[in-house]
Structure 1
């Protein structure tokens, strides 16, 4: 009996050691191409971690915020920044838990990002910017403006999800998923399975783009690299997302907004028209527009089309 127990613990230790080595190998190889590290930028040393950001151009301030996802980073704006910096002082940011920013072990909440956005604007930008968000990042932009009415000049939301998707709260099932992902070895392994190159490719081809053939190997490498920077500690953000800690109802904040909210939906996205209409019905001042031949990130797929729509909404400094 004792011999069987010793064998069990020995096999368990060997399995854990093997998984640990696999995790480390993935971390090392994911960053070998250094696609993200070649971009020059600065760090905002925030109270919860250092935040990577870039600043380019001149004119009124424009802050670009990527999708809240540990595979995402400000790389998603790479095809749009050069076009915008001719008329704006353009800021891009890697959110806490993403890309080149720190990825601390903590519970990531919607209010955490409200604080980050508020502090970054006060400490780095120093004046009211127009803000452009992708996907679920609309939530903390809207809530930050609701809490600080003089924070933003406008919000442009690219493919925001239905407002009802933010109404979720943590429960026993989501808390178990969060706990599993946060485990030292097995949690990292589960995260690495979720962010395997093939799974990221599938996400880009089915969600981020409407035309899969436009997903280049460099884009895939950039998203894969972003997900594994910082020893795959993006798992802590993923754990909080899975646990619904980054969700927060925004309907009341959209209704009370006193700055322009522009909704840009890709027609290929599920329920695009219904989603855009739901925001417009919540607040009569909301303006909507649609873009064709694009998925979640038209800034990568059809940047010129997106730029033409943004120009209808945003004031340009010449």
Structure 2
């Protein structure tokens, strides 16, 4: 190969690379515009906790003994997940609905997210904002860090209601070389954002609702999909940093050792239509027999969204029981 042909090939490759990256950038901008155009997550009625790692958005409603609602640790999730439950609980309790760091209306710093980061967030939020021992209702992947917070400081959390907590074995897996490489790739400005957009969009969110979140597909609302879509792309798609860390197992933690140390009353609500939810709940009960488990028929991952009336009835009985 002559020097001239080598230069031509190099010029072509450079131009092609620039075109591809430029196209990715345009697609990323389009995703950003489409996902946030409806402004589903307006923060006009929310307060802010200026935590040391970023601004945390929360809403306080009602009066009475405090209850903290913590949504699933997922880039698509936000306090919207508890919207129907919050309105019911606030009639008898002071309810705090929080958007976790990297989610909803809260900040999305570009750094490595870990389970221990959220343990600290919840501990600080309860101490600085709620100011007294509180009951907690927590969903999905957020359950482990709430249990860790209970184990670390028994003065902040009273009763715990967990909704479909994750498999303990899955949560104990640590990052690998491949997962660390994936994290670095997603953290890159244009290519990483493009890959994130391919994996987190309206189609994939709808599929999640159909196959994992809801039992009855007819109950899925367009508003649910749009809100989850917007949450996953706010703040110039900076949710990708949480996504990368979660997929790379940086948010995993072996919490088995925590369970035996807990003295909290713990209640697990599972969607009975997903056998994996029941198996996961039984794992927790095997390590801590005092845990109570209640199933809600014809629901999957989101019984509190799909059947809020039945969910609220179960929670109300548990929270009102004498200590």
Whether TM exceeds 0.5 here: the answer is: yes
In the other structure, the counterpart of 2:279 is 274
Question: How do residues 164-203 of structure 1 correspond to structure 2 at under 5 angstroms?
Answer: 164-203=169-208
Which among 284, 287, 292 is matched to residue 292 of structure 2?
Answer: 287
In the other structure, the counterpart of 1:117 is 122
Matched, 1:3 2:13: no
Gaps of 5+ in 1: none
Inter-CA distance 180–54: structure 2 relative to 1 (3 Å threshold): same
Deviation at 1:38, TM superposition (A): 5.8
Q: Deviations over 1:30-79 (max 9, x none)?
A: 11111111661011111111011110000011000011010111110111
In the other structure, the counterpart of 2:3 is none
Which among 260, 267, 270 is matched to residue 265 of structure 1?
Answer: 270
| CA-based RMSD | 1.4
Distance 1:206 1:82 in 2: 27
Rg: which structure is higher? 2
Question: How do residues 82-121 of structure 1 correspond to structure 2 at under 5 angstroms?
Answer: 82-121=87-126
In the other structure, the counterpart of 1:312 is 317
Report the count of equivalent residues: 317
Matched, 1:65 2:92: no
Q: Secondary structure at the match of 1:79?
A: helix
Inter-CA distance 183–270: structure 2 relative to 1 (3 Å threshold): farther
In the other structure, the counterpart of 2:61 is 56
Contact 2:43 2:105 in 1 (8 A): no
Runs of 4+ with deviation above 3 angstroms: none
Deviation at 1:256, TM superposition (A): 1.1
Q: Secondary structure at the match of 2:320?
A: coil
Distance 1:255 1:295 in 2: 28
Distance 1:309 1:128 in 2: 21
User: Quick check: 207-216 or 267-276, which moved more?
Assistant: 267-276
Deviation at 1:294, TM superposition (A): 1.1
Which among 21, 25, 28 is matched to residue 20 of structure 1?
Answer: 25
Contact 2:165 2:277 in 1 (8 A): no
Deviation at 1:277, TM superposition (A): 2.1
Deviation at 1:280, TM superposition (A): 1.6
Matched, 1:35 2:40: yes
TM-score (norm 2): 0.95
Matched, 1:217 2:222: yes
Q: Secondary structure at the match of 2:236?
A: coil
Q: Secondary structure at the match of 2:232?
A: helix
Distance 1:81 1:314 in 2: 14
In the other structure, the counterpart of 2:252 is 247
